[in-house]
């Protein structure tokens, strides 16, 4: 079964994304902080991470992305930044940190599902 890790400090956002993804047969994992995201990613090795940028604690989404992409054990996990930060400079920074895609909230659930389906195909 394919695994997706949803990382967002807002519980309602994690639940909304999970509902969006629940049409497929996926194992959904959750993290509410950067530190938790790194721990789960290293242990569970999800196929895709949907990663918010703004999070409480020591690590934000940029930090998480950079750490995971530099780690040989997690560098191949597909990371989609899913964030309210939509300015071009922020997108460029996310992609420079190693993100594979960048979606801005509010996002199109259909576009997200189509992207995930194409990644997992």
Please report, for the domain that includes residue 104, its CATH number. 3.40.50.2300
pTM: 0.93
Q: Angle CA(81)–CA(55)–CA(77) in degrees, nearest 5?
A: 35
- Whether the link from the prior residue into 106 is cis, omega within 30° of 0, is yes
Residue pair 5/100 in contact by the 8 Å Cβ criterion? no
Answer whether residue 19 shows pLDDT above 90: no
- Distance (Å, whole) CA 83 – CA 42: 22
The count of domains in the chain is 1
Q: Which domain holds residue 42?
A: 2-120
pLDDT tens sequence across 25-84: 889 999 999 999 999 999 999 999 999 999 888 999 999 999 999 999 999 999 999 988
Q: What is the pLDDT of residues 74-120, one digit of tens each?
A: 999 999 999 888 888 988 999 999 999 999 888 888 898 899 989 99
């Amino acid at each position: 079964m394919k695994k997706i890790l949803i990382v967002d400090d807002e519980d309602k956002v994690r639940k909304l994304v999970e509902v969006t993804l629940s049409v497929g047969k996926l194992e959904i994992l959750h993290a509410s902080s950067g530190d938790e995201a790194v721990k789960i990613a290293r242990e569970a090795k999800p196929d895709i991470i949907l990663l918010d940028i703004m999070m409480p604690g020591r690590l934000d989404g940029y930090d998480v992305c950079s750490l995971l992409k530099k780690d040989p054990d997690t560098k191949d996990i597909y990371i989609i930044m899913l964030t309210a930060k939509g300015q071009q400079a922020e997108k460029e920074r996310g992609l420079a940190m190693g993100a594979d895609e960048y979606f801005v909230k509010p996002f199109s659930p259909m576009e997200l599902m189509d992207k995930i389906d194409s990644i997992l195909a």
